[in-house]
Amino acid sequence: MRRTGPVGFDLDMTLIDSRPAIMAAWRAVGEETGVHIDLADVDLRMGIKLEDEVTYWFPVAERERAAACYRRHYIALAPALTTLLPGAQEALAAVKQAGEEAVVVTAKHAMSIGPSLGAVGLAPDRLFTHVHGEEKAEVLARLGAAAYVGDTPADMVASRRAAVLAVGVPTGSFGARQLTEAGADIVLSSLLDFPSWYARHRAGRQADGGAAPD
């Protein structure tokens, strides 16, 4: 696995706490459409594309309208309900200070990114939006990423498929054990631990000439 290069980060529940805005938007969708949406089920799948989530609640003919309804509510709610997760700014800064790119690779649609990042003042070097699963793996491989940091088992699987270091943070809907079982090379308690881990990671590379990951 590579030891230098850009570091990719998932967005929702990795860098930002978007759960309040997401749940409020889904609640609004349910109220507007009259469809019962189980927010606990939504939470368990958090991280997938909106277009995939609507398939659980709406018939084919109504899915496009439901997705547009959700995005309209999310864009209105996100500025007030989105917060940074602990250590997010410091994690991006650690990568940039090392001379590497801090890149966000997310399933979030491009139109929802602005309100999310603007709410917390987060400024990654590059953004790749509306990608999930194998699509994330393709982006990471194309970037030649050194690592990918995420909060879901799907993020860990994408990292492994791209042959990059899989770094898990249990700050979303999944615990450390689930992330490890999905292939995480390391699980940090939160992004507060990222700068010190990343410094050791880079120091290890310099010491061993880029051998196997720590």
Polymer length of the chain: 214
Superfamily of 7-17+83-208 according to CATH: HAD superfamily/HAD-like (3.40.50.1000)
The token pair at 188 is 């940090």
pLDDT surpasses 50 at 213? no
| CA-closest candidate to residue 103, choices 114, 92, 117 | 92
Query: What pLDDT shows up at residue 61?
Result: 98
Could you give phi then psi for residue 128, rounded to 5 degrees?
Answer: -125, 115
The token pair at 76 is 């209105």
Q: Give the span between the Cα atoms of 144 and 47, in whole angstroms.
A: 23
Could you give phi then psi for residue 38, rounded to 5 degrees?
Answer: -80, 105
Q: How confident is the model at residue 187 (pLDDT cuts 50, 70, 90)?
A: very high
pLDDT in tens, 17-45: 999 999 999 999 999 999 999 999 999 99
* Boundaries of every domain in the chain: 7-17+83-208, 19-81
Write down the H helix ranges in 34-186.
39-44, 50-53, 60-81, 88-97, 110-120, 134-143, 153-161, 176-181
